[in-house]
Amino acid sequence: MNSCIKNRINTIFVHVSDLEESVKWYSKLLNQEVELSNVSKPVHNLPMAQYTGLTLDAGPAGETKQITPSPYPLFNFHTDELEQSYQFLQTSGYKIESDIVEYEDFAFFTISDPDGNIIMICNG
């Protein structure tokens, strides 16, 4: 029997300890308006431009997740303007974890969210 699982990532779950703080952080990063009165635990789905969704998951009501972030990027956000993105995030107070790393066909840098999750910003 063949697998019915599609060759597509549906949603990325990022586990967070403070849902409202994380919604504000990711919304600012992605230049999205956010109405915090529409944010309710345990999860918040951020609108994305493609198939793959991004869900921030704070866990059950009344509990605060204890996050142990991976030292490696969970995923990447794309940019066509890597230098401008780096400068924007630097001047906006985001925690930059690495300088721009350049390869022959792409470049990237990393940032960390309020829980220390590493996110790659990549042009390739």
What's the pLDDT tens digit per position in 66-124? Answer: 999 989 998 999 999 999 999 999 999 999 999 999 998 889 999 999 999 999 999 97
Q: Which CATH number belongs to the domain containing residue 50 in this structure?
A: 3.30.720.120
Longest dimension (CA), the chain: 54
Q: CA 102, 106, 109, 115 torsion: positive or negative?
A: negative
Question: Taking residues 28-33, what's their average pLDDT?
Answer: 92
End-to-end CA distance of the chain: 36
Residue 29 predicted with pLDDT over 80: yes
Q: How far is CA 67 from CA 16, 18, 117, in A?
A: 7, 10, 9
Range of the domain at 113: 72-124
- Given a cut of 70, whether residue 5 has pLDDT beyond it is no
Query: Could you tell me the pTM of the whole model?
Result: 0.82
Residue 76 domain flag: yes
Work out how many domains the chain is built from and give that number.
Answer: 2
Place of tokens 């919604």: 23
Q: What pLDDT, on a 0 to 100 scale, did the predictor assign at position 26?
A: 94
